Structure 1
Amino acid sequence: MFDAPVETWYTWLGLAVASVAMLGAATTFPATATPDAAGVADTVDGVAASEYPATAEHPLAAEAIRVGPHRLSLRNDAGTTHASFVFGPVTPVAPGSRLETVLHGVPPGEAFDSRRAFTQALIEARTEESTWQTVDRTLVVRRAEWGESDATLVGA
């Protein structure tokens, strides 16, 4: 009795506006999920907690990563996520550095001239400002030691 007849123009106009609004809302949803920063941090903590030299890899579903001594951040189209390390500080490894060769399996004694140079490289890497790096492969984590210097190296 109080319904509008389907033939009226304002009913069709209201349905059209509602349809456009629903379509607009549906297209704003991200196509992918946010990256799993907590899972990546768990992988890093697993290596860092080891009593022995260890290596692990974690695939990254992100476009960019930022690794600091105490936390990491992952970013993709869906957003940015952050996670902290329980066993830190870790040593972020910059691409092209001598620490990157150690990260990928070269013993520290072959990559560096002395223990002091290795220790200094670790200190410098931990104190540098962390920046976003594009991701094109998996995250690599390695616990390396040389004498009294040991570190958890993290790089992508």
Structure 2
Amino acid sequence: MFEIHLDATYAWLGLAVVSVAAVGVAAAFPTSPPPDADGLARTVDSVADGEYPATAEHGLAAERIRLASGSVSLGDDRGTARAALDAPRITPVVRPPAAAPNATTDARLRRVLDGAPPDAAFDDPAAFAAAADRARAADAKWTPAPDRLTVRRVHYGGVRVTLVG
């Protein structure tokens, strides 16, 4: 009456091992999804595809960002997300990281992105176009992400530029 069946012991041990493995797999899952690069891409595209000057902001929940000519990437410890842009071209305006304060785009572009009229920051549309071309030609690198990203489409003379930063 009090005998132990050998197959029952193995069944309980097997169930315990499977339970521990299931808990380990569940604990390895990230607590939240990677950052939303698609939402950011939609915001950039909505401003860049417009005919008229416009400004938009998009909140970010990411630690780093990379702005390239045809895509935007966001990353943090939960993972990395990348989204393609439909906009023909954007001009990244990178904030200088603390470690490399000189490794940034033209400060005048930052002023325009922050709301200054282009004619207050640049002497003429050609200087504005040249600064935008230099910013677009720079290699896309991972930089610390701000809490909010600003997108601004600006017209100055015949120059139409979409600043993102």
Aligned partner of 2:100 in structure 1 is none
TM-score (norm 1): 0.88
Of 131, 135, 145, 2:145 maps to: 135
Deviation, structure 1 residue 11: 3.2
The answer on 1:145 being equivalent to 2:155 is yes
In structure 2, the residue matched to 1:33 is: 33
Unaligned regions of 5+ residues in structure 2, if any? 97-106
TM-score, normalised via structure 2 length: 0.84
Q: Which amino acid aligns with 1:36?
A: D
CA distance in 2, matches of 1:91, 1:70: 11
1:11 aligned to 2:21? no
Identity of aligned residues (%): 47
Task: Judge which range, 92-101 or 102-111, deviates more.
Answer: 92-101
Deviations 1:12-63 (A, max 9, x none): 3222211220111011111111222111111111101111110001111222
Structure 1 residue runs of 4+, over 6 Å off?
A: none
- Listed as ranges, the matches of 1:56-95 within 5 Å are 56-95=56-95
Q: For 1:99 and 1:93, how far apart are their aligned partners in 2?
A: 7
The gaps in structure 1 that reach 5 residues or longer are: none
Q: Deviations over 1:47-93 (max 9, x none)?
A: 01111110001111222110112111111222211111112211111
Preserved contact between residue 32 and residue 77 of structure 1 (Cα < 8 Å)? no
